[in-house]
Chains A and B, each alone.
Chain A
Amino acid sequence: MSDPTRLLVELHVERPDGFALDVKFEASPGISILFGPSGSGKSTILAAIAGLLRPARGRVALGDDVWLDTAAGIDRPIHRRHVAFVFQTLALFPHLSAIDNVTYGMDRARATRASRRARALTLLTRLRVGHLAARTPSTFSGGEAQRVALARAFAMDPRIVLFDEPFSALDRELRRDLASDLRAFVDELGVPMIHVTHHRNEARALGDRVILLQKGRVAAIGSVAELLPPDPPEPANPAEIPIQATRWARERE
């Protein structure tokens, strides 16, 4: 009997455009960063784990629970994999309020409507967006939408969590804010999380482990310190310096 929270992924995908993905890795509870340049196959891996894409050959299993085994003809449907998938676009349902977005993935057989809504509100409040419960996503700021998406992902009691660069549109401060909330939830759930990013800082702030991806292959697996060492010292935020310089120059005039 293998560890029931250990995710095993083995995939071989060939896309019509000639790109080939050939990877094998494991992920245990905690945050594994899938790190690599764009086009290295990160999103394809997440889609295959969730069941949104069927690889030519492969195996995906959580402990002894096999979700996909092309050799044995096993391919569990998406809705029975219990994967919390947070998309780059967040994919909040635009026609539903925040609270209805959060309750969407909750098990309707296990809890009454009232208790599902109460739990959703607790989650939203904990993520500091309780005041948005009755509003629809078109009125949310970028950071607010992230928090609602986070609440929706964790409300479904996932067995694994997949993040496809949902923080890429946020500024640095918001990203750091969310990182600590995310970390708290993942620790609480005790499930594997795979977080795709190509931001080194984000990877360092969040990651327990790094899976380094290059051209559809796993180039290395290791700790964050090992694979993503701190950059040589540089100005805190290079983009801000010219602005300050011009402001200073303007004030002198």
Chain B
Amino acid sequence: MAWSPLLLSFQVAFAATVLAAILGLALAALLANGSFPGRDLLDVLLTAPMVLPPTVLGYYLLVSIGRRSLVGSAFESITGSSIVFTKTGAVIAAMVGAIPLVVKSSRAALEGVDPNLIHAARTLGATSLRAFLTVQLPLARRGIIASLMLAFARSLGDFGVTLMIAGDIPGETQTASLAIYDAIQGHRDAEALGLVAVLTATALTMLYAANRLTAQRP
């Protein structure tokens, strides 16, 4: 059985989760604490990847980071390789699915911190950034870690967007979920079953751990 799709999936999911964590946490903090025009619109845009068809998301990504796009051609002239149909594309595809999860649950965790604690920090001389880093973030950490676990599980399983912008290139962009489809098409049922079992076990473990983390309060 070929293990390379699994290894690739874990690499891609890890990179996607790290990126989603940075971007998603910043956006969650903005939505939880800031009041600015367009906040509701931003919220809708960040939730959209959860409900839009993968083909639609893939289309938007191809238009915005494809080889002929501004971002895509700039990336290619700097690094020498394109974003789409490479591992980078697979990471971005997985990240797009993961960001809404990070934003939604991290925001809820941040908003769950008693506002008086943040006010107390501010009156004690903390800037809003210091209050966020030393009070709000540590008190929301369980919810945030749980959201990153969900994001990792989600990244591991992306199919549609990955297919659209990264393709199905064995050894390069063929992640486990794409390899399962390939194996079924080629009647290699045992190979499919092996990948299915690993993905299922990982996802369930992540979900269980995330639930445990958010169920018990410190």
Contacts and interface: CB of A to CB of B under 8 A. Distances in A.
Given A93-B135, A94-B218, A85 B123 contact: yes
Contacts of A58: none
B188 interface: no
For chain B, which range describes its interface: under 10, 10 to 19, 20 to 34, or 35 or more residues? Answer: 10 to 19
Contacts of B71: none
Given A79-B125, A104-B124, A93 B119 contact: no
A85 B119 CA distance: 9
Contacts of B138: 95
25 contacts: A50-B123, A51-B122, A77-B127, A79-B122, A79-B125, A79-B127, A79-B128, A81-B123, A84-B123, A85-B119, A85-B120, A87-B116, A87-B119, A89-B114, A89-B116, A91-B114, A91-B116, A91-B117, A91-B119, A94-B218, A95-B138, A95-B139, A104-B126, A105-B125, A156-B125
A82 B119 contact: no
B203 interface: no
Contacts of B218: 94-95
A70 to B, nearest CB: 19
A111 interface: no
Interface in B145-201: none
Nearest to A80: B125
A121 interface: no
Interface of B: 114, 116-117, 119-128, 134-135, 138-139, 218
Contacts of A152: 124
Main secondary structure of the interface of B (DSSP, over half): helix
A78 B123 contact: yes
A151 interface: no
Contacts of A104: 121, 124, 126, 134
Nearest to A138: B218
A64 interface: no
A91 B124 CA distance: 11
A153 B124 CA distance: 8
Contacts of B139: 94-95
A93 B120 contact: yes
Nearest to A158: B123
A194 to B, nearest CB: 13
Nearest to A87: B116
Contacts of B126: 79, 104
Given A52-B119, A95-B218, 7 more contacts: A50-B123, A79-B123, A91-B114, A95-B138, A104-B124, A156-B124, A156-B125
B20 to A, nearest CB: 25
A156 B126 CA distance: 11
Contacts of A95: 138-139, 218
A83 interface: yes
The residue in B114, B125, B128, B135 that gathers the most chain A C-beta atoms within 10 A of its C-beta is B125
A94 B117 CA distance: 9
The residue in B124, B125, B218 that gathers the most chain A C-beta atoms within 10 A of its C-beta is B124
A164 B134 CA distance: 24
A187 interface: no
B169 to A, nearest CB: 47
